[in-house]
Structure 1
Amino acid sequence: MNKLEWKRIVIKVGSALIAPHGKGCSSQYLISIAQFIMSCRAQGIEVVLVSSGSVAAGSHLFPDELQQTIPIKKAMAAAGQAEMMATWDKLFDFSTAQMLLTRCDLRDRERYVSVRETIFTLLEHDVLPIINENDTIVTDKLKVGDNDNLSAIVAAAADADALIICSDINGLYNKNPNKHDDAVLIPNISEINADIFAMADGATSAVGTGGMITKVEAAQKATLHGIDTYIINGFTGSSFTKLLNGENPGTHFSSDPSPMKEHLHWMTHTSTAQGEVIVEDDFTAKLDAHSEQLTSDDLVEVKGEFAVGDTILVRRNDGTKLAKAKSNYSSCLLNFITNQEDKNFASDFQEQTGPIISDKNVALLEAP
């Protein structure tokens, strides 16, 4: 690890650090994090902060609400977000900016690019972006779900060199350290596989929405984009001192040596498939040959409704997911083509208009 190689980092701070006592925001653990951010900026390292905690920060304003319904939680988020931003502002002597996102802002390519542009512009003007999911309006359908995965998406969007995820334990252990005294910290992980996920356990915080599973998921997303990822203990100030000294205070997930291209990473890990196309089994031969051009001859069925340019899922009849891709046709037109009895019509049409998907906009999901 060499901190001098960082040009831009994303640091994720959870609800338990923001409001550890359930009585609104507290600077108890945030001071060390703020000092770390200021030290990074002083060394010319750009920082993006992903901060959870709006619901936890606002919960104390609704003490009589024993049952936290969704409308109550949204109201807590609305009030708590303002308190949280005010708390961060007090800790910095430079300008900050608030960005509230939903899955819609990230899965739509045009809006995702807009998010990227905003982050870059803020950093160019020495303003610290503080990003959170927009819990005041989000629904289950629009929800990213947890800020661990959101931080990985933001790190990819920001073209960060490193993602630092603050936890309430030192990193990833071979077993849950809260249940097993002989649990051993794993300092370095070069490949995230099923064995690594098996070591992760559920949430350890009473106010957080994620656990170690979501942190490993985030690390997987980030490392595939070429981003070194660290899970550290955010409650311990020495974690940040070690990072600044070039030491690893927790678990370091090494970045993939052959990272995915930005638009393919977005398609794989951020974009939501709006529909599906079911293909013949022998379409996998095209994937083996790295010729991922899909024509009507390969189609078995079209599912869902989607427009030109939407992300679609390509899968076999047996359910095997092969790829996510940008569709060059709408579902309406594809259904029309596939239902034509005259197969020459489809071939002639596609000779003039091109394939359904083309290889430059295909992200393979599973080797056939």
Structure 2
Amino acid sequence: MTQLRKFRQQTVPPWRRAVLKVGSSLLAADSGGLSTRFALGLAQFISSCHASGREIVLVSSGAVAAGRMLLQDHSPEDTSNAARQAMAALGQTQTVALWQRLFDRPLAQVLLTHDDLRDRRRYLNARATLTELLRYNVLPVVNENDTVAVDELTLGDNDNLAAIVAALIDADMLLIATDIDGLYTADPRSNPDAEPIDEVHELTAEIMTMAGAAGSSVGTGGMRTKLEAAEKAAAAGIQTILFNGRDGEVVSLLARDLLHGTLLRTTATRMQARKYWLLHVPAVPGCIHVDAGAVRAISDEGASLLPKGIIDAVGDFQRGDMVEIVGDSCSGEPYVVARGITQYGAAEMNQIAGSHTRDIKERLGYSYGENVVHRDDLVITTDFGVNP
């Protein structure tokens, strides 16, 4: 076997919240099913991070590998959609059970599809759920809902799903545990001249061509999907780390913020990337008309939009839509103050306009929270040259 060249040790940039993606190759047992052989070290890494006040969302593969073992009548070569769908359904509980055995804290399974994250209403609900789980000190275990998204099973999309989840929860870092030390200039398993790449500042076309195809019989993703995930994360201002989850020493050092692997940096800040996205998401017809006090709170104090500052809502927009927030200039002419993703529809907003946050549930019979538009979902248009 080729002797792999070692990655130099480097310090991990500071982070508070991260998404850790663990692939099937780190969980599959040689005889079939799942094994804690490598998962134990990764669980210890997560526990160490939690002990230091950090938050982690775990994106875990392994369901198909686990289900394949339970479906004794199916051979490992059976890759039909129906068979893989059944394997994924059976294996989901096995995957979560494996992780739960390694923690003395509660875990929560969260199954997502890309449609859940493309649809703005589902996006809000998914983010609210994950944020609340983290607040309760629960470890979310996320997987793609393979039983209804079988077309994506062959794409290794848990890498890309992890990047999307990282952006969803405003993570600082995307950690991808794989079965190889990091990114090389070529496939190190077949090319003895392959050189390790410790750090990447920009994912150029040349860097992308260095990625090979899938390298494991149990997983569906190769290095290319990991670089695609890093590219998505970078666009959201999130850095990515590729490391060998099979190497106990590498995992142990990572808990001490020392990396032997590849760090993929980004030039965009998280705030810049998010604000840019919010600024360019198409707004629906209609607007939220707010008073002068709300304009000051949003523009000068960086506050969320609360129902008390709303005069009325115009249009027929729904919860999760991108809506313009309009105030009145000194001359009395309306102008767009900000735009953001609303937590309430227009009809609901007109029912709670001018009220205190504590009155929302009384007026509607339910509540999606005290913020009509949360400050994290809001961008001030005047910051981008649009003046009253």
TM-score using structure 1 length: 0.70
Is 1:190 the equivalent of 2:201?
yes
Aligned to 1:21: 30
**Structure 2 unpaired stretches of 5+:** 1-9, 282-316, 323-339, 341-378, 382-388
Q: Give the Cα–Cα distance (whole angstroms) in 2 for the partners of residues 267 and 74 of structure 1.
A: 39
Is 1:169 the equivalent of 2:180?
yes
Aligned to 1:156: 167
Q: CA deviation at 1:246?
A: 2.2
How much is the aligned-residue C-alpha RMSD, in angstroms?
A: 2.8
Q: How does 1:95-174 map to 2 (within 5 A)?
A: 95-140=106-151, 146-174=157-185
What amino acid sits opposite 1:121 in the alignment? E
Is 1:60 the equivalent of 2:76?
no
Q: CA deviation at 1:69?
A: 2.2
Is 1:261 the equivalent of 2:270?
no
Distance 1:21 1:266, change over 3 A: farther
Corresponding residue to 1:38 among 47, 66, 69: 47
Q: CA deviation at 1:360?
A: 9.2
TM superposition outliers: structure 1 runs of 4+ over 4 Å? 1-4, 141-145, 263-268, 307-311
Aligned to 1:211: 222
Tell me, yes or no, if the aligned pair for 1:6 and 1:162 is still in contact at 8 Å.
yes
Q: Give the Cα–Cα distance (whole angstroms) in 2 for the partners of residues 236 and 185 of structure 1.
A: 16
Q: How does 1:319-338 map to 2 (within 5 A)?
A: none
Distance 1:95 1:17, change over 3 A: same
Is 1:221 the equivalent of 2:218?
no
Q: Give the Cα–Cα distance (whole angstroms) in 1 for the partners of residues 35 and 253 of structure 2.
A: 24
Q: Give the Cα–Cα distance (whole angstroms) in 1 for the partners of residues 277 and 95 of structure 2.
A: 31
Tell me, yes or no, if the aligned pair for 2:64 and 2:87 is still in contact at 8 Å.
yes
Corresponding residue to 1:73 among 79, 84, 91: 84
Q: Give the Cα–Cα distance (whole angstroms) in 1 for the partners of residues 90 and 279 of structure 2.
A: 34
Q: What is the DSSP-based 3-state SS (H/G/I as helix, E as strand, rest coil) of the residue aligned with 1:50?
A: strand
Distance 1:174 1:217, change over 3 A: same
Q: Deviations over 1:206-261 (max 9, x none)?
A: 11111000000001111221111101111111122221222221000012234553
Q: Give the Cα–Cα distance (whole angstroms) in 1 for the partners of residues 12 and 190 of structure 2.
A: 34
Tell me, yes or no, if the aligned pair for 2:17 and 2:172 is still in contact at 8 Å.
yes
Identity over aligned pairs, percent: 45
Is 1:245 the equivalent of 2:265?
no
Q: How does 1:284-299 map to 2 (within 5 A)?
A: none
Aligned to 2:362: none
Q: What is the DSSP-based 3-state SS (H/G/I as helix, E as strand, rest coil) of the residue aligned with 1:5?
A: coil
Tell me, yes or no, if the aligned pair for 2:156 and 2:219 is still in contact at 8 Å.
no
Q: CA deviation at 1:264?
A: 5.2
Tell me, yes or no, if the aligned pair for 2:203 and 2:231 is still in contact at 8 Å.
yes
Length, aligned pairs only: 278
What amino acid sits opposite 2:125 in the alignment? S
